[in-house]
Structure 1
Amino acid sequence: MRGALVYLLVSIACAVVGQVLLKQGMRVMGPVTLDLPGLPALILRLATSPWVVIGMSLYLGGSLFWLTALSRIDLSLAYPFAGLNYVLILIASYVVFGEALNPMRIAGVLLIALGVSLIARSA
C-alpha cells in the first residue's frame, strides 16, 4: 500500500502542476474558439506553446504513475485520492494566478479533503 500511495501522490502532483501550466499557456494564448475551420491553426498553436506541451507531458507522466498505482491497489481506494486534485488546484489557483477564494469553494474542498481522509483511514 505504501508504494502505491507514493505513485498516487506523484500522479496527483503531476496533474496539478500540469493544470497550472496548461492554464498559464491558455492565459498567454488568450481565448480560443473551437470551430472546424480554425481547428488546424489552434492545434498548431497548442503544439508550439511550451506551457501547453510541458503541461500535457506532465499529464502523460502522471498517467503512468496512476496506472502503476492502479496495478497495486483497488480502484475504489485510489480514485477518491484523485479528489486531492480539487484541493490542490484551489490552492495553486489562488497562489499562482491570484484567483478568488470564497467561503463556498473553501467549504467544498474541505469536505473533499475530509472524504479523502476517511477513505484513506479505511485502507
Structure 2
Amino acid sequence: MKYIGFILFTVMTNAAAQLMLKQGMMSLGDISFAGTNPVIKILQIVFSPWVFFGLCTFVISMASHLYVLSKVELSFAYPFLSLAYVAVAVFAYFVFREDLNGFRIAGIAAICVGTILIAQGGSGHAETSDPSTPKSVQSSELTQ
C-alpha cells in the first residue's frame, strides 16, 4: 500500500488524458481525410491543443506506471487501472453530459468492488528473486 498514491496518480492522469482527447476530437469536428494528405491531417489532429495535451498527459501517466511497475507486483498494480474507467464515466457524465444509466452504474460498482478485493488480496510489493529459495516446479517438468 506504500505506492498507492503513485498508482492513483497513474489512474487519474490516464483518465484526464482520455477526457482531453475527447475534448480535442470534439473541438475538431467531423474529421475527413478526403482530398487531403493523411500525414498532414494526422499532424493537424496530433498538434491541436487538447489532443496534444492529452497525449502529453498519457506520457506522464505511462512514466508513473513504469515507476509503479518497478516497485509493486504487476498483478497488484494493473487492475487498479480499471479505476480509470470509473473516473472517465463519472467525469464524462458531468463534463460531456454522457449517459450514466443503471447498467453503467452497476458496472462501475463491480469495478470498484473488484479493485478493492485485489487491493486486499496481496501485499503489492514486488518480490526480489532470491537464489537460495527453491523454484516452483511446472507441471510439464513433472511429466519428464
- The reply to whether TM is greater than 0.5 is yes
Map 1:7-18; keep pairs closer than 5 Å. 7-18=6-17
The answer to whether 1:40 aligns with 2:36 is no
Q: Does the C-alpha gap of structure 1 residues 104 and 40 become closer, same or farther in structure 2, counting only changes over 3 Å? A: same
- Larger Rg: 1 or 2? 2
Task: Tell me the distance in 2 between the aligned counterparts of 1:33 and 1:119.
Answer: 43
Letter in 2 for 1:90: A
| Gap regions ≥5 residues in structure 2 | 123-144
Higher RCO structure (Cα 8 Å, ≥6 apart): 1
State the 4+ residue runs in structure 1 displaced beyond 3 angstroms: none
Map 1:11-26; keep pairs closer than 5 Å. 11-26=10-25
What corresponds to 2:111 in structure 1? 112
The answer to whether 1:81 aligns with 2:80 is yes
Task: Tell me the distance in 2 between the aligned counterparts of 1:113 and 1:33.
Answer: 38
Structure 1 residue 40: deviation in Å?
Answer: 1.2
Q: Does the C-alpha gap of structure 1 residues 100 and 71 become closer, same or farther in structure 2, counting only changes over 3 Å? A: same
Q: For 1:37-90, what per-residue CA distance to the aligned partner results, in whole angstroms no more than 9, with x for missing partners?
A: 642132121132110110000000010000000001110001110110111111
Task: Tell me the distance in 1 between the aligned counterparts of 2:59 and 2:33.
Answer: 23
Letter in 2 for 1:12: V
Q: What is the CA RMSD across the aligned residues, in angstroms?
A: 1.5
Q: TM-score, normalization: structure 1?
A: 0.91
Letter in 2 for 1:85: A
Letter in 2 for 1:104: F
Q: Percent identity?
A: 36
Q: Does the C-alpha gap of structure 1 residues 34 and 61 become closer, same or farther in structure 2, counting only changes over 3 Å? A: farther
Task: Tell me the distance in 2 between the aligned counterparts of 1:100 and 1:85.
Answer: 17
Q: TM-score, normalization: structure 2?
A: 0.78
Task: Tell me the distance in 2 between the aligned counterparts of 1:59 and 1:6.
Answer: 17
Letter in 2 for 1:73: V
